Amino acid sequence: MGQHEVVSNNGLPPVDRLVLVDVGGAGGVQPKWLPFADRLCPVLFEPNPAEASKLRGILAGTFPHSLILETGLAETTGPQTLNLTRHFGCTSLLKPNQEFLAKYRIARHFRVIGTLEVACTRFDELYAQGEVPAPDAIKVDVQGYEYQVLRGFGDLLHRCIGIELETHVYPIYHGQKLLHEIIEFLAGFGFSLRRMHPKGNFDGDVVEIDVFFTKGMHAWAEFTPAQRTKYEMICQAWNLVDYAAAKGARV
């Protein structure tokens, strides 16, 4: 499917539709985006063909112009080994750090029970081939592999408005980048950290966090009207303070 087909004919011109790229989108688009269903173009990545087929069925009615691609995202293109864990939600392209996990009750869910070779590619390569539109918002939940996925967007991150990640402050996978490293990387593209929500999977310790970024105040001041509309949608979906409200500005 080409880039034009992804975003056509749903009552809004392509420039006005918010492109939400969801990496690790098992279960479909998050409920918080439902109020914007008629203004959204979801692009989901699911390398498992059976799960991708389920996603198409889930999204067909609510998001008729969604796009599901049967590939993984990474910073390099080519096959990679997926570590299948006892709990599907802990499966990752990185190996679980059992030494760190051993102190927590959740450790058993990270036990590797098999491996699977999956095709991976860079997002910016798919964009250059006309297979996907440029992202306005990105959500990544890939169990420790967030940094590598983000690097695969390349310079498209300059055009992106908001990013939601599940990430970590301690290494639960070998070779993963931690929150502070992701903050530093995204700052190079003009992103500011806007909100953090610790998750309670580690016996009361803060290990895993949902984090939300948008372009910073300086970039926001230069947004086009279309970008401001999308930014407002992102702030509503992610429960962020709109810079306009923070400054007492009228947009």
Q: What is the pLDDT of residue 16?
A: 80
At 7 the pLDDT is 35
Picking from 146, 173, 199, the residue whose alpha carbon sits closest to that of residue 23 is 146
Question: For residue 72, which amino acid is it?
Answer: G
| Residue 5 pLDDT | 36
Measured CA to CA in angstroms, residue 23 lies from 10, 46, 104 at distances of 23, 8, 27
Q: Of the candidates 174, 21, 20, which has an alpha carbon nearest to the alpha carbon of residue 93?
A: 174
Residue 64: its pLDDT value, please?
78
Please name the fold of domain 3-76+122-243: Rossmann fold (3.40.50)
Q: How many Å apart are CA 193 and CA 206, to the nearest integer?
A: 17
pLDDT tens across the length of the chain (251 residues): 333 334 333 445 566 889 999 998 677 899 999 999 989 999 999 887 778 888 888 888 888 778 999 999 999 999 999 999 999 889 999 999 999 999 999 999 999 999 999 999 999 999 999 999 999 999 999 999 999 999 999 999 999 999 999 999 999 999 999 999 999 999 999 999 999 999 988 999 999 999 999 999 999 999 999 999 999 999 999 999 999 887 664 44
Q: What is the pLDDT of residue 66?
A: 86
Among 169, 130, 140, 19, which Cα is nearest to 75's?
140
Q: Residue 59 and residue 244: Cα distance in Å, rounded?
A: 33
Q: Which two tokens stand for residue 193?
A: 């950290």
Check residue 59 and give its pLDDT: 86
Q: Which helix (H) or strand (E) holds 49?
A: helix 49-59
β-bridge mates for residue 50, sequence order:
none
Does the reported pTM lie above 0.85? yes
Which pLDDT belongs to residue 187? 97
